Amino acid sequence: MQGAPRASDRMINARRITAVLISLGFAAALVGANAAEARKRGREGGSTGDAARIDESGTSALLRELGADFEVHHTAHYRIAHDTGAQYAELHGVLFEAVYRAFHEFFQASGFRLREPGGRLDGVIFADRTAFGAYARKSHPKIENAGGFYSSANNRIALFNSFSDADYERMVRSIETAETSLRHVRKQVAESNAARLTLKSSDGSREELTREQALARLRTEQRSLRAKRRQLDGHFGDLNLTTTIHECVHQLSYTLGVQSLSADNPKWLSEGLATYFETVGYRDVGPSGNRNPQRFKSYREAQQGGRLIRLRDLLTRDELFDVSKSAATTAYGQSWALVHFLLDTHAEQFFSYLHRVARTGHASSERAATRLKMFEDAFGQDIATTEKRWHAYMATL
């Protein structure tokens, strides 16, 4: 297991998250005088109710379970256990509360009578993937390689800092190596006034260029490396954000009563809702009907590759969402696309359908047939017609 992150690493990661949050629309909650106001609003509950009383015994039990390296950060609606450092946890507390407000306001405006959570919701954030993986294996071995998960058994979400991921660190080292080579070449150019230069890279290779060519090469490579750093931090920042939002939505759906743990919950519906809300991270205003870039890409690639899942299979075959299988990416992308389509074109029927699903019993031997009939009844047309109209709609995006 990796050691705990150094204080300097924690600060770097917090800065990266801050930059990503600001770039995606959370600036009002994180910078200037508004930062203190955001923390105050988080503690006091903002527009979604007063903060719950802190459960000291529950907090002590959570810390005993997780170990001495963990601390707890409280917001109005969340108890966040973490070993990431206070700043990182506070930033995620702001994000958690933003998702809570967006989810609550969206469904309340849609006519849902939401339950009160009855106490703070639990979230656990690990400093690295290794510790997260060990924790995840206790719930299910297939989720140890996921970016996060929601456990209905204890109504808890678990996440980790994706900036500590081995893939991220490997890519950073690659960029740093290229930057070192670039500095080596820049030094040679600066120390010579010759019209033609034989440049030696740090790896020992040589190249003969005019001075103008060498200067142009330096400018091009510098721009390229800066772009790669931005793309890398943006990608892994998006993973932190979208994974956090996704798992928060699962937790909120069951806690606030949009879905019921005692019902037969089709995976496409649960995952479609979670992926639909991932766009909260782009605007901090809740789902707005905008495309989810990652999920739209998965849908489009499956369509172009002839790998789209039939609608009747998406509605009935929960095993398609097994993250250890290659089909899962397509299943998640199509679930977002289906919820996006239904909310944009059949919103009233969709909310009615959500209510009906929450009142169903546990899955039976006739589950597939029951699901198909319920879907057809809710939207007033057969599966084939809905499927045709759905894909025609997606072609317009």
Q: Is residue 379 part of a domain?
A: yes
pTM of the predicted model as reported, rounded to 2 decimal places = 0.74
Q: pLDDT band at residue 39, thresholds of 50, 70 and 90?
A: very low
Mean pLDDT of the 192-216 span: 78
Per residue in 236-291, pLDDT (tens digit) is: 445 567 888 899 999 999 999 999 999 999 999 999 999 999 886 554 334 555 77
Q: Last residue of some domain: 222, 255, 288?
A: 255
Per-residue pLDDT at 373 exceeds 90: yes
Question: Are 29 and 150 members of one domain?
Answer: yes
> 111 lies in which domain range?
7-165+233-255
Least confident of 88-92, 132-136, 310-314, 328-332: 88-92
For residues 26 and 98, the answer to whether their CB atoms sit within 8 Å is: yes
DSSP lists the bridge partners of residue 149 as 158
Mean pLDDT of the 219-243 span: 69
Question: Are 161 and 172 members of one domain?
Answer: no
Q: Is residue 23 part of a domain?
A: yes
Q: What b/e sequence results for 260-281 when a residue is b if at least 16 CB atoms lie within 10 Å of its CB, and e otherwise?
A: eeebbbbbbbbbbbbbbbbbbb
* Greater pLDDT, 150 or 242: 150
- Kindly state the helix (H) or strand (E) to which residue 308 belongs, with its residue range: none
Q: Which of 278, 329, 276, 323 is nearest to 300 (CA)?
A: 329
Question: Are 124 and 149 members of one domain?
Answer: yes
Per residue in 82-140, pLDDT (tens digit) is: 998 888 888 889 889 988 998 998 999 888 899 999 899 999 999 888 899 899 988 87
CATH number at residue 97: 3.40.30.160
Q: Is residue 1 part of a domain?
A: no
Per-residue pLDDT at 61 exceeds 90: yes
Mean pLDDT of the 282-306 span: 77
Question: Are 182 and 104 members of one domain?
Answer: no
Question: Are 288 and 378 members of one domain?
Answer: yes
Question: Are 239 and 345 members of one domain?
Answer: no
Using CA atoms, how far residue 274 sits from 131, 190, 246, 366, 393, in Å, is 25, 54, 5, 26, 21
Give the total number of structural domains in the chain. Answer: 3
Q: What's residue 166's pLDDT?
A: 63
Question: Are 28 and 144 members of one domain?
Answer: yes
Q: Is residue 2 part of a domain?
A: no
Question: Are 106 and 250 members of one domain?
Answer: yes
Question: Are 70 and 109 members of one domain?
Answer: yes
